[in-house]
Amino acid sequence: MDFIPNTESDRREMLGDIGVNSIEELFSDIPDRLKVGATLLDEEGETELELKENVARIANRNEKPGDRLTLIGAGLYDHFIPSVVSHITGRSEFYTAYTPYQAEISQGTLTWMFEFQTEIAELTGMEIANASMYDGGSAAAEAVLMAQEYLNKDKIVVAETLNPRYRDVIETYLPSEEKQVIELGTTKGRINREELDAILSREDSIAGLVVQSPNYLGIVEDLGGLKEDLGDSFLIVSSNPISLGLLEPPGSFGADIVVGEGQPLGNPVNFGGPLLGLFATKKDYLRYLPGRVSGKTVDREGNEGYVMALQTREQHIKRERATSNICTNQALNALAATVYLASIGPSGLKSLARINWDKAHYLASELENLPGVKLAWDQPFFNEFAMEVPGDAQVLWNKMKGEGIDLLHPDKLKPVGWDDGFLIAVTEMVSKGEMDEFVRLLDGEVG
């Protein structure tokens, strides 16, 4: 039983054991200006109703979702989440479950993991998928390590238009002193194919190319012929899963590994986390796959069942054979993605992708009617696009913020070599009226 200090002498004894004389001395490292000088409650206290009313009054001083128009994307997107998602993920058998070590009592978890893998493999056009990775950045970095290990080559070509956070994670994974990352520049918002050819001709230890489509600037990359150019080197493609409801999946272009951020699939933005990494590949690379895989089997009586078919971390296999140090996964987030995809279905995903495409193109066309405002590049884009604006983009950013409109700060675009305007993301959550109001407000600043 835990010791609870019920008397003053008990408290003094405990304080003495840790070398202080009073509660005040215990918290002496907190500056006085941050301490509350008065008691928080009056002597009579508050009823539960009064407490709730007072807390609500304080909370209402904050801005709430929906109070502002958010046009920020850059890897995380605000999508509608059907209520069935939280209903399922909130069930105690899922919400509190951990790694399904014992198959006989983990059939529910192993079943949805198998369904998740199936959905992601079909969505990306690949043969197998794991369940799962931490986020889009760690998935991209693990794909790089897998390519290096499989091919026994060390150099990796990374497109300049890859999400800068993913680039950071990749470089963190790799030994910096060996300079394994080779940056591939862009032309008109897309990867520079001539520069890629030059890199491939002069380097003889290329493990693979990491390219994002739609890329960080929202542009849909032309993946055609990339795998043929790379030969044995891996083609690693990072994709927005919602876009795959409309665009040809990377697997159709011969991609060796497809990764991505699964947050748009039934997971809220939540101030940037927790997230969900997607990872799909070919069967030939199964033994090099990081993470874990659930498989379907039958017992000796012929009944279907699910088992943990592959676990490649050092806790489960010999350390020298382990492929990754990822020790768990984003299981609850992956479950949310599974329920989300099952609830909207293939036709629903296609319809959602089309809505995102149409709304983004509507807003872009309206903005192009404003003086000095134009698309940065005449390239196909999905639900996100880069717009050049006249004058100082940061000044305009501050003015839009004051009007209740949140945009990605222009400084966030410097890592990809462009900061002459705004990167604007539009999802089904943005109404036509809100888009028209944004155009009106921006027109008042640039007109």
Return the top range by mean pLDDT from 94-98, 324-328, 372-376: 372-376
Query: Are 360 and 333 in a shared domain?
Result: no
Does residue 193 belong to any structural domain of this protein? Answer: yes
In a domain, residue 189? The reply is: yes
Q: How many domains does the chain have?
A: 2
334 in the same domain as 234: yes
Cβ atoms 325, 134 nearer than 8 A: no
243-268: pLDDT as tens digits: 999 999 999 999 999 999 999 999 99
Maximum mean pLDDT: which of 88-92, 272-276, 422-426: 422-426
Q: Which two tokens stand for residue 23?
A: 């509660």
* pLDDT tens figures, 355-385: 999 999 999 999 999 999 999 999 999 999 9
- For position 353, what pLDDT does the model report? 98
92, two tokens: 């105690």
Is 177 part of a structural domain of the chain?
Answer: yes
Could you tell me if residue 231 is inside a domain?
yes
Same domain, 259 and 382: no
Return the amino acid letter for 17. D
Q: pLDDT tens across 332-354, in order?
A: 999 999 999 999 999 999 999 99
User: Between 273 and 241, where is the model more confident?
Assistant: 241
Peptide bond into 410 cis (omega under 30): no
Neighbours of 34 (CB within 10 A): 6
Both tokens of 433, joined, read 């009226």
Q: What percent of the chain has pLDDT over 90?
A: 73
Q: Are residues 289 and 331 in the same domain?
A: yes
End position of a domain, from candidates 341, 363, 387: 341
Phi-psi category of 259—alpha, beta or left, where left has phi over 0 and alpha has psi -120 to 50?
beta
Lowest mean pLDDT among 129-143, 309-323, 359-373, 416-430: 309-323
Least Cα distance to 205 among 153, 158, 147, 145 occurs for: 153
Q: Say what the pLDDT of residue 98 is.
A: 74
For the chain, the helix, strand and coil percentages under 3-state DSSP, each to the nearest 5: 45, 15, 40
Domain extent, residue 144, equals 83-341
Is the same domain home to 237 and 299? Answer: yes
Q: Containing H/E element for 23? A: helix 23-26
Going by pLDDT thresholds of 50, 70 and 90, the confidence category of residue 166 is: very high
- The tens digit of pLDDT for each residue in 215-226 reads 999 999 999 999
* pLDDT value for 104: 82
Question: What is the domain-level CATH number for residue 367?
Answer: 3.90.1150.10
CA–CA distance, 172 with 156 (Å, rounded to integer) = 14
What pLDDT sits at residue 1?
Answer: 42
Query: Model's pTM, two decimal places?
Result: 0.87
Residue 218's contacts (CB-CB under 8 Å, 6 or more residues apart) are 73, 360, 381, 382, 383, 384, 385, 386, 423, 425
Both 327 and 349 in a single domain?
no
Q: Find where tokens 């079909």 sit.
A: 122
Answer whether residue 37 is part of any domain. no
By DSSP bridging, strand 155-159 and strand 206-212 are parallel
Is there a domain that residue 404 lies in?
A: yes
Which residue, among 264, 238, 435, has the nearest Cα to 337 in the 3D structure? Answer: 264
Query: Is position 49 within any domain?
Result: no
The CATH number covering residue 225 comes to: 3.40.640.10
Q: What angle do CA 257, 259, 260 make, to 5 degrees?
A: 165
Distance in angstroms between the alpha carbons of the first and the last residue of the chain:
72
Is residue 8 pLDDT above 90, yes or no? no
**Residues 131 and 271 occupy one common structural domain:** yes
Identify which has the larger pLDDT, 253 or 272.
253
Which pLDDT tens digit goes with each residue over 14-73?
888 899 988 888 888 999 888 877 666 566 778 899 989 999 999 998 887 778 999 999
> Is residue 157 pLDDT above 80, yes or no?
yes
In angstroms, the CA 323 to CA 335 distance is 24
* Residue that finishes a domain, picked among 341, 359, 389: 341
Task: Output 105 or 209, whichever has higher pLDDT.
Answer: 209
Assess whether 332 and 375 both reside in one domain: no
HSE, CB side, 13 Å, CA atoms: give it for residue 325: 2
4 pLDDT exceeds 60?
no
Q: Is 117 helix (H, G, I), strand (E, B) or coil?
A: helix
Examine residue 268 and state whether it is found in any structural domain, yes or no: yes
184 in the same domain as 101? yes
Handedness of CA 317, 318, 323, 329 (dihedral sign): positive
What pLDDT score was predicted for residue 42? 61
Same domain, 279 and 352: no
Domain final residue pick, 324, 341, 358: 341
Same domain, 307 and 386: no
Same domain, 89 and 189: yes
